[in-house]
Structures are given as structure tokens and as C-alpha cells.
Structure 1
Amino acid sequence: MKYTVLGAGAMGLRYGVLLQEAGYDVDFVDTWEPQVNTIHEQNGVYVSRDGQDKHLVPVNIYFPEDYEGDPDVLIVFTKQYGLADMLERCSRFFNDRQYVVTCMNGMGHIEKLNQYFAKEKVLGGTALIGTVLNKAGDVDFIGKKGAGSMNIANETEVPDEMTHKIVEEFQNANLNPNLTTNFMGTLMAKVVFNSVINTLCTMFKIRMGEFIQSDVAKKLGVQLIDEAFDVCERAGITLLNTREEEWQTVQTVSEVSNPLHFPSMYQDISKQRPTEVDYINGYIYELGTKYHYEAKTHDFLRNLVHLAEFSDKFDVDAYVKSVRSADKTTV
């Protein structure tokens, strides 16, 4: 089948490149000018794995207004806050036979996709696959070949022939898909995972493998998981894992699969981009309030991340130097 990836960031490139290497026809569409222009200039994207074996992979990439392809499947990997604009700009090449697969972080994207695609054509997924965009045109796949996994489900929870074909081709690309028939439980499982790993690693600027070594990692993680499960139970959402299994997933991915990985939220804040915390911890809190339950730890961490976003506007090193210079004292 022919695939078009909307959002050629870290994860979009990983999915698209792996599908391309498996022999499938893949195009990329992005709105970030440095990414599109750099890939055009160097005739491809540089790909490494855990910082090693950096090599150029030829890819086809376009701005939405320039794309003339006719894909069977769209793979969506934008940031939550940029999805509406991406879909609007790409809508000219959408049609009613296309399927769309999304493994975006957080929640809020399905409602936007449903404005363009019928529920029968929407597949929601969650990816436990670490990838870093070093800079425009340069991506690093974290983990050994075949590392990582994903869950995927139809929005209707009724897999059809096309769904099975997509899953088969994802398997051929070493994306390790697991097809479920629990749509909301599948999506929320990753939201819960990210509410622990993304937020805590970002706040303290550490890798997943460093976080999991802490004596308080389990205590913090279990507290967040328990709150999230309390919310989901009240909302009638059955998650794929038990509370204990969810913590084991956090532990295994951090220790074994992606110990060297900085989560995407950290990558965003380190480059002074907005984070998706409102769509992760914030989503859990807001969902809880609908059922008269306050996930206060999630709300607290959401606000701390926003404070970190704000504080990054200030150049602390420059301030310290100016104080030392003025006062001749140690700060």
C-alpha cells in the first residue's frame, strides 16, 4: 500500500523510514520549513541508531500545498497543538477511501480526525518507541533494530480487512503492532505511561534509564498511575493493563527498551517549544473533574511543567554572570 506521513518529526520519520525500508511506497508531508527545506537540500534524511551508523536515507517530502499524492493510508504524527492546522492544509488530498493511523501522544486528536474521516477508517495507536530529532534532517532511532512496540485499535473496535493488512505491513516494518479491540483503553494506556515518564523526566532533565534508578521512581510513578486509573474507572474506561502491569511497563521500557531516551516532552522544552502536558496530565485531570474526582498530582505536575516552560525564557547563566560582575561576590 501507499503511505503518506503527516508530520515528519522524530516519530513520523521512524514509521515512514521503516515502512520504506520494508518495501512500501512512502511520502512525507510537513509544515516545518527548516525540516522540508533541509531534507530537500541534502536529498534525504540522516538516520542513526543510538548515535551510531549515521547515514543518508532518500525520502520524498512536501509542504501540504505542494503534495499531489494519492495514499491509501495516512499516518499522523503531529504535535497535538498543531494538528488542526495540518489537517486543514492537507484536506485537499483527503478522500473517503483512505484510512488514517495515529499514534500521537496525549488525547484530543481523535475528535479532530473525525472531522475529516469516518470512524470506520480511523485507527488509534500508542507507540512505545523512542526516537529523537537531533535537528532538521537528522533523526536518531533509539534502541536496537526491532526495539519498541505499539498497540493499535479501530475506533469502531471492529477490525476489518484493511486493518489487518495495515497491521501486517507494520509488522513487516518491525513496528511490532498489537491489534486490540479496546479503543479508549488502548489510547489511555499510553497517556498514563506518558503522564509518568514524560513529565517527570522533563522536570528533572533526565533520561528514562536515569529516572528508573531513583529510589523514589516507583513511589512517584505508582501515585500518578493510581490517580489515572481512578479517573479511568470513573469514566468507564477499561485500560489494557492493571495498575501493577502499567508500572511494570514503565519500568521495563525505562530499563530495557529505551534507557538512553529523553522523552518527547523534554525534547520540546529543551528547544523552547510548547509541551503537550495539557493533553497528557492535563487531560487526565480534566477528565476526572467530569466525574467529580480531582487528580491533584497530575494537575500539580501540569502546572510545574508550564512553570518550567515559562522559566526557560530567562537566561540564568547570563544573570549569574551579570551579578558576579556587578557585586564581585559569589552567587
Structure 2
Amino acid sequence: MTKYTVIGAGAMGLGYGVLMQERTANTVDFVDTWKPSVETIKEQGGVWVSRDHKDKHMVPVNISYPEDYTGDPDVWIIFVKQMQLADVLKRCAPLFKAHQYVFSAMNGMGHIDKISNYFPDEHIVGGTAMIATVLNGPGDVDFMGAARAGEMHMVNKTEHNDETTQQIFTDFKDAGMGPIMTENFMGTLMSKVVFNAVTNTLCSMFEITMGQFIEYPGVKDMTIQLMNESFDACERAGIHLVETRQEEVASVDYVSRVANPYHYPSMYQDFSKGRPTEVDYINGYIAKIGREHDYVCRTHEFITHEVHMAELMRKYKKQPAEQTQPVSQA
């Protein structure tokens, strides 16, 4: 039996932790720094769990602030927003021990560098998650789509999948997360980044579901344009993605049209609640790789600016119509 502790009781953290707790014999704790989450879960005695807004039930969980936690897990599971990760890791640092491993499948890129400040490479397992969850509110998570229909990739940072990495894989499989083991660390992580650089970003700007997004006839052309820039930048950086350009384009279509048509991507969930998005760690990260290797990802750079502009313009969204200025004919 493996002892897991999840850092971050948001949509994905609760998703992974609850599935692990409900479907396997492993023990699971949660650690979070967000007071509404910790206090709500403590007050209600657990987490409300639904699937597609149905069958809502309470799952008892053990949650603590980092300063109050006394557990000693075998594996940490980290799902924290990129912008908050450095501070959260600093608060959790006294809890980290030499024997422990860490798994993270956070959106975007940048988290592995921060995690590497606390764990050796051989104890870091990175991954991607095509498992849709929505946080309705503190302590209230909703799984989207059919049970056990999700998929994820995972790989040890050293690209040598040792015994503990294999055990984590087995536990994720038993929990119904559909894990796939790879031997290509950066190629695995970037395969999700380039996917999110299409669906998360565009759905967020237009505040639409993935199913609504795929209705537009020009989506395939837009996807190909963004994917070509992503792959060109990665190839110049010596990163070989685990999927081809054609497979990534097909994945955008399938996930949007068939797997999760009613799903709002996680970036939208931040955007709609007035929080900063992770666009700098997704489209912005791809653009950064490109510029570091003498290749300008003009579309990704433009979209990064567009998302930040949309974030800024949220302050005008609820302005009453009678207070708006007339539109010029120019």
C-alpha cells in the first residue's frame, strides 16, 4: 500500500485524490494553502463529488495546511496553479523527505523546474492529464464525462521508469485514470502544452465550451497553424513530442467533438472567475522556446497578448449598456 498526499485541493487535485481514495487501497491526504478550501472541507467533513452534475455525494477526506500536516507520504501529487507554485512549495518544504517521490501533471510548463529545487530527478515523475474536472466551489468537485474514460501520460524525469514509478502507474491504473507510460520526458509534457495552447486559450477568450469551439468551420486551420508553430519551436529546441502534428490536430477535434464537448477548459474556469490565467506558461512558454532557438512563434505571441488583453477588459464586461459610449462610424 502506498501513502499519497495531494498538494492542492482544486479541481485536478481533488480529482486525482478522490479517485485514488475511492478506488484503491491506498491512503490519501490533502494539503492546501487556500483558506476557503481548507476551512470548507473541514467544516463539511469532506468533499462533495459529482459526475456530470449528477449523483452528488460526500467523500470524507483529511486536509491540512502545510504548517499543520504531520504525515509522511511515499508520493506527493502536486496540482497547483503555476503562478502560486513557488510559494506553496516553500511552505511545504519542511515536509519533504529524502525517500519521497513527487508526481505532477499540471497545465503548462515551469512547474518541473520549481519542483526540482526540492526533489532529485530520479524522484520526479511528470505527466499529462486528459481527465476533465470542474471545481464548482471549495470542496465541491465535478467529474466530466464517462467514468474511466480519461487518459494520462507519465514518465520519470530521468526517463528510467524505476520500481516506484511503476507502482505509481499501477495505482493510477487501478484508480481508472488510464495511465500510459512513456520514455520521453519533455516530449510527453509538451504534448499537452501544445494541445492546451489551442483549446484552453481559444475557448477562454470566447468563453465557450469545447463543443461550441469545434462548431466553427475554421478550427482545423487555426489548430494546424498553432500546431505547426509549436512543433517547429520544439524541434529547434531538440524536443520530440510523443505525438505527431497530425495526431495532435486529430486529438483537438476528437476531445472537443466527442470526449468533452460540454467541458469548459481549466483556463476558462480561471478567466470566468476573474483570476489570472496560465497563458504565459502555455502559449507564452512555446513562444519563449521559439525565441530561445531563433524562431518566432508569431501566432502564439499574439494570442498571449490577446488573452492578457481579455483579462484586463473583464472590468468592463458588466458595465450597464446605458453607460457605454456610442460606437463610432469610423
Residue 8 (structure 2) aligns with: 7
Q: Does 1:211 align with 2:236?
A: no
Q: How far is the alpha carbon of 1:318 from its aligned partner?
A: 3.1
Structure 1, unmatched stretches of 5+, are none
Give, in whole Å, the separation in 1 of the partners of 2:215 and 2:131: 20
Indicate the residue corresponding to 1:318 in structure 2: 319
CA distance 1:323–1:80, change in 2 (3 Å): closer
Whether 1:122 aligns to 2:124 is yes
Q: TM-score, normalised by structure 1?
A: 0.96
1:85 to 87, 94, 98: 87
Structure 2 unaligned segments of length 5 or more: list them.
none
Amino acid paired to 1:172: D
Alignment-derived partner of residue 132 in structure 1: 134
Hey, what's the Cα distance between the residues in 2 that align with 1:200 and 1:30?
30
TM value normalised by structure 2 = 0.96
Q: Cα deviations across residues 264-322 of structure 1 (Å, max 9, x unaligned)?
A: 100001001110000000000011001110000001110000001101123x4434233
Give the Å deviation of 1:323.
Answer: 5.1
Give the number of aligned pairs.
324
Residue 111 of structure 2 corresponds to which residue in structure 1?
Answer: 109
User: Could you give the per-residue CA deviations for residues 210-250 of structure 1, whole angstroms, max 9, x where no partner exists?
Assistant: 11121011111111001000001100111011100011111
**Matching residue of 2:275:** 273
**Separation (CA, whole Å) in 2 of partners of 1:255 and 1:59:** 34
Equivalences for 1:46-195 in 2 at 5 Å? 46-195=48-197
How far, CA to CA, are the matches of 1:323 and 1:196 in structure 2? 32
SS of residue in 2 equivalent to 1:240: coil
| Identity %, equivalent residues | 57
Cα separation, 2, equivalents of 1:82 and 1:112 = 11
The aligned amino acid for 2:173 is Q
Aligned partners of 1:51, 1:157: CA distance in 2, in Å?
A: 39
Q: Aligned in 2, Cα 1:321/1:137: closer, same or farther, shift over 3 Å?
A: farther
Go from structure 1 to structure 2 and tell me whether the alpha carbon gap of 1:179 and 1:323 turns closer, same or farther (over 3 Å shift): closer
Q: C-alpha distance in 2, partners of 1:257/1:323?
A: 40
Matched residue SS, 1:140: strand
